[in-house]
Chain A
């Protein structure tokens, strides 16, 4: 078996909140619904620490489906996922700008 693919850096950790289903991000102050607060791992050690947080929060029944997402910083320094799938996950449905994170946190 080949080794699992390593997420390129920089990266953030996102997940879905177990009870609400909402997308949440790991921040320096724990989990937040606001993508702007996401802690950005610039090095491998931080990325591994993030992943460990995801596993721990899953075990504490707080989140599900936690995984690292590689990002690029936009002109305001805010993280934007490199893959279009996660860009929608972070923003919300592209046909409904009134819904999702894009409506709440701009």
Chain B
């Protein structure tokens, strides 16, 4: 994992000291609210419905046991004993007091963490494939380049006041687990015909009010030209992105308005004028960063562990959990293990301080003290020996963390919605809970198979509803909460925006409506066909009919 050098350390400490005096000046009246608000936002402090909210950056979703323990401590000491993992792989605390935030930031700095650029119109925390560095289908670990982009974009003087926020996601694999086509920039590590490693760049993806799928802007950027190319691209956006209307200010709108060819031409023209980036990274620095991501020293293990196979045969519940929650590791005898933060009936992505400590301890014991946060709001232990999985499963079970539902219908993405969020138009957590209860039966979930349900509490789409196989968007209709259902969204390399099935329905009708959609799939699926594959083959019509039938019955 990356470790701060003395410059990183001094930079983060300085920011904490600055924020401490900013809070003091706000209290004395030396700073007005209008002056203070952007400062607090640049440090991840939002004001929500019930309290302030602190958003902590988890760079490319990688955490150490030590860091997770510190988050547990902060949750206990300054919050209500829990935190919320988000679709941007960050952690949010829902109840911090402004008076405590400087102290919290100091505690974060102690473990090389911060909240810088988790808000505001700047380049936000770079997100990544949660299996980066361990996935068998990967060209190269994308995290060194994510760290490089993080350092380059932190307080970048030119890109600190962009027209709007800017989100970058990276992957090193062909199969996209990081939703890179739903980001302002998606970066994929690729190898060209000559065997050189470089980057494919996508631009103009994004969700929210105007959902768009990213388009390829350059198929191959050589490694040493990445920052230069990014600088050219950001400069085009910074100069030409719209600042007159915040709903049209994201780069996706610029790309859409002028077309990808024209956008590419402008970036290439800018690129041709640059003699390297204005803030260059020398090769030595890149090598220094990369060294931190060297894989841990794996033991030489056989690919099949007889005791592990026997444990699965003897214990069907364990076998079911292994089937849904483990992922093939590139090292023989190892596995990457997903810990579901979606136990039936709990808020998706929430973890108590106690659970964070359990995970931190288990990671230390079984996974080289490393944890990943997924954009699906789950946690991953990336380097687990198969021989240890059974013991891990038992320990997780005691902490209420052994739900065997990863990728299944109850592994729901949900934003905080109106239970916490000041921007929300409706609640999302209770919708997730009612669906989890409806589909709680695990054998039924397994029969239904892979199905992503994603819920947002407003059009901002933090819950990625547009790219859910089933998307649910909470709106207000005539003074009531109302839910719009979409179908056919996809967040992978087959990215697609879901289509609206019909008029909004009330919360109580949502589980039955989803049941009806699942029913169409079960009735029509071919052997081995997943839900989303069936939707693609059958088209919207049969699902729409079932959905509208439901709405008519309820009317």
Contact partners of B433 in chain A: CB under 8 A:
95
Closest to A91 in B: B50
| A window 59-106: CB within 8 A of B | 61, 64-65, 83-85, 88-89, 92-96, 99-100
Task: Decide: B99 and A19 in contact? CB cutoff 8 A.
Answer: yes
Size bin of chain B's contact surface: 20 to 34
Task: Decide: B47 and A22 in contact? CB cutoff 8 A.
Answer: no
Task: Decide: B51 and A93 in contact? CB cutoff 8 A.
Answer: no
Contact partners of A64 in chain B: CB under 8 A:
33, 47
Task: Decide: A95 and B430 in contact? CB cutoff 8 A.
Answer: yes
Task: Decide: A61 and B99 in contact? CB cutoff 8 A.
Answer: no
Whether B26 is near chain A, meaning CB under 8 Å from some CB there, is yes
Task: Decide: A21 and B33 in contact? CB cutoff 8 A.
Answer: no
What is the CB-to-nearest-CB distance from B148 to chain A, in angstroms, rounded to a whole number?
Answer: 36
Whether A23 is near chain B, meaning CB under 8 Å from some CB there, is yes
Closest to A59 in B: B29
Task: Decide: B419 and A93 in contact? CB cutoff 8 A.
Answer: yes
Per-residue CB contact flags for chain B residues 393-426 toward chain A (1 = under 8 Å, else 0) read 0000000000000000000000000111000100
Contact partners of A88 in chain B: CB under 8 A:
49, 418-419, 427
Contact partners of A16 in chain B: CB under 8 A:
47, 51
Bound complex: CA A74 to CA B498 (Å): 42
Closest to B428 in A: A95
Per-residue CB contact flags for chain B residues 6-50 toward chain A (1 = under 8 Å, else 0) read 000000000000000000001111000100000000000001011
Whether B195 is near chain A, meaning CB under 8 Å from some CB there, is no
Whether B546 is near chain A, meaning CB under 8 Å from some CB there, is no
Contact partners of B29 in chain A: CB under 8 A:
61
Whether B96 is near chain A, meaning CB under 8 Å from some CB there, is yes
Closest to A83 in B: B479
What is the CB-to-nearest-CB distance from A59 to chain B, in angstroms, rounded to a whole number?
Answer: 8
Given A21-B51, A22-B50, A89-B50, are A95 and B99 neighbors across the interface (CB < 8 Å)? no
Bound complex: CA A69 to CA B51 (Å): 18
Whether B52 is near chain A, meaning CB under 8 Å from some CB there, is yes
Per-residue CB contact flags for chain A residues 12-27 toward chain B (1 = under 8 Å, else 0) read 0000101111110000
Contact partners of A89 in chain B: CB under 8 A:
49-50
Whether B80 is near chain A, meaning CB under 8 Å from some CB there, is yes
Contact partners of A85 in chain B: CB under 8 A:
49, 418, 424
Contact of A20 among B98, B429, B480 (CB under 8 A): B98
Closest to B418 in A: A88
Contact of B430 among A22, A58, A94, A99 (CB under 8 A): A94
Bound complex: CA A90 to CA B29 (Å): 28
Given A88-B49, A89-B50, A92-B50, are A21 and B420 neighbors across the interface (CB < 8 Å)? no
Task: Decide: B347 and A95 in contact? CB cutoff 8 A.
Answer: yes
Contact partners of A93 in chain B: CB under 8 A:
50, 94, 419-420, 429
Task: Decide: A84 and B419 in contact? CB cutoff 8 A.
Answer: no
Closest to B30 in A: A61
What is the CB-to-nearest-CB distance from A56 to chain B, in angstroms, rounded to a whole number?
Answer: 13
Contact partners of B97 in chain A: CB under 8 A:
19-22
Contact of B98 among A18, A95, A96 (CB under 8 A): A18
Contact partners of A23 in chain B: CB under 8 A:
49-50
Bound complex: CA A20 to CA B52 (Å): 8
Q: List 13 A-B contacts (CB under 8 A).
A: A19-B99, A20-B98, A21-B96, A23-B49, A58-B33, A64-B47, A65-B47, A84-B481, A89-B49, A92-B50, A93-B50, A93-B429, A95-B419
In the complex, given contacts A20-B51, A20-B98, what are 6 additional A-B residue pairs having Cβ atoms less than 8 angstroms apart? Answer: A19-B98, A23-B49, A61-B27, A93-B50, A94-B427, A95-B429
